[in-house]
Every structure is written in structure tokens, then in C-alpha cells.
Amino acid sequence: MITLRRSAERGYADHGWLKTFHSFSFADYHDPAHMGVGNLRVINEDRIAPGTGFGTHGHRDMEIVSYVLEGALAHRDSMGNGAAGGAHGGVIRPGEVQRMSAGSGVRHSEFNHDAEATTHFLQIWILPRAPGIAPGYEQKRFDDASKRGRLALVASSDGRDGSVTIHADAAIRAALVDGDERIETALDPARPAYLFVARGSVHLNGQPLAQGDAARIEQETRLVLDRGRAAEVLLFDLAPLQ
């Protein structure tokens, strides 16, 4: 079964410096019919105005993945990332995937330091396998060639195939689909999946999806992506909640 969720159906908030769409209930947006899928809890499509950003704030017990589409996102946290001499510079650009495990507690900030350009990115939250793990950070680049006409693994529970490691029973794949490119893959019908169109348009099993649209996929054995027009999509393989 495939249940479509159109872009215009999402929650939306305009804070001036931040324009954000919520695929699932978040902050002041609450819809009991859209609380998440499996262990996926948040997909926020955020646009941060030039010279602004999220001040320092805290998280616990969540795997947080950031996927930048345009611009740059400067990250700084209580683990030392983004600080002078830190393990990571903390700036995320298009093609890069950042994973932050909030675990037992972490504080961080996210800023767009560009004076002219907007930063457009996806913020994704996935429930971890267990609470209270040590906070952690990882950042990797996946170039367009690795995603062209194929579902490239960008996040997984074991870091296989060069993906970032999330401490959750889940995987995230990214693909670029355009023109005659066609992607076909098997699905485990016992596990829910979720497809999000980050930009462009594409057909999923014959159904058209545009930018910001998504599809909840349940008890399906096959996924086909084709007829893409400059499409960039994320496919989530998720754990069913008991």
C-alpha cells in the first residue's frame, strides 16, 4: 500500500528568519494522523535566511541527520565540533550528510553565515535503539555520481558502504533521477518505508510526485522510480514499532 502525502498538506511555519515545512507533527504543528512512520519522527524542510540560524539548544536520545540541498550550514556543538581545533569543521554543504547522535545529551547551534544566500536543508530525526548512548558526530560527502540513477546508501545502522552510522534500526538512501533513468529495488514488506522528494519530480510505482511530496510505503515488495525531472529523493527503510 502506498499512501501519498502532498507537499501542501504538511505543517508550515514562517518565523521570518526560518521558513519550515513539517512532514510530521513538530513544535506547534500537531496532527495525530502524522506522528511519524516506524521509528522516523521528523523530516523538516528548512530554509534559513542569510546571516541567521538556530541558537544553542539541547537534544537527547535522538539520531539527527542533516542533508543540505543549497547553501551551507555551520554546526557547532558541546562535543567540540565546529570549534577551533575540533574534530570536525562543522560546515555542511550540498552533497554532505551529517549525523549527530544526541544520546545522553548534547547542545549545538546551526547557522547560515552567508550574507546573501539562503540555506536549504532537511533535518531528520530517528529514534535510537537505546537511550543514553554517548553523544557522537559524523559527516561524509556523497557526490552526484554516486547517486545518479541509483539509490546510494548514505546512512545505516552499521556504516556499511561508506555510509554514516546511525544508532537505529533504519537506513537512508539518496538518488538522483532524471530523463530515462529508472531505479528498481526490492522492499521488505514487513518493514515500512518512506520516500521524500527533496526536489524535482518523479514517478513512484507509476504515481507522480513533485518536490515536497512524500509516500508512505507499507507491505510492498517492489519500488520503481522513473520519469524523473531533476529529481532528488530520499528513501527511508524503517523499523516497525511494536
Per-residue pLDDT tens digits of the chain, which is 242 residues long = 999 999 999 999 999 999 999 999 999 999 999 999 999 999 999 999 999 999 989 999 999 999 999 999 999 888 888 766 666 667 999 999 999 999 999 999 999 999 999 999 999 999 999 999 999 999 999 999 999 999 999 999 999 999 999 999 999 999 999 999 999 999 999 999 999 999 999 999 999 999 999 999 999 999 999 999 999 999 999 998 75
Please report, as a single letter, which amino acid is at residue 216.
R
Q: Are 166 and 204 in contact (CB under 8 A)?
A: no
In a domain, residue 206? The reply is: yes
Residue whose C-alpha is closest to residue 229's, from 195, 200, 209, 196: 200
pTM summary value: 0.95
In a domain, residue 192? The reply is: yes
Query: Which helix or strand (DSSP H or E) is residue 40 part of?
Result: strand 40-48
Residues 6+ apart with CB under 8 A from 139: 88, 92, 96, 97, 98, 99, 164
Residue whose C-alpha is closest to residue 87's, from 135, 147, 39: 135
The CATH number of whichever domain residue 45 belongs to comes to 2.60.120.10
In a domain, residue 124? The reply is: yes
Total number of domains in the chain: 1
In a domain, residue 242? The reply is: no
Q: For the segment 169-183, what is each residue's pLDDT rounded down to a tens digit?
A: 999 999 999 999 999
Dist CA 31 CA 25 (whole Å): 6
- Domain range enclosing 186: 2-237
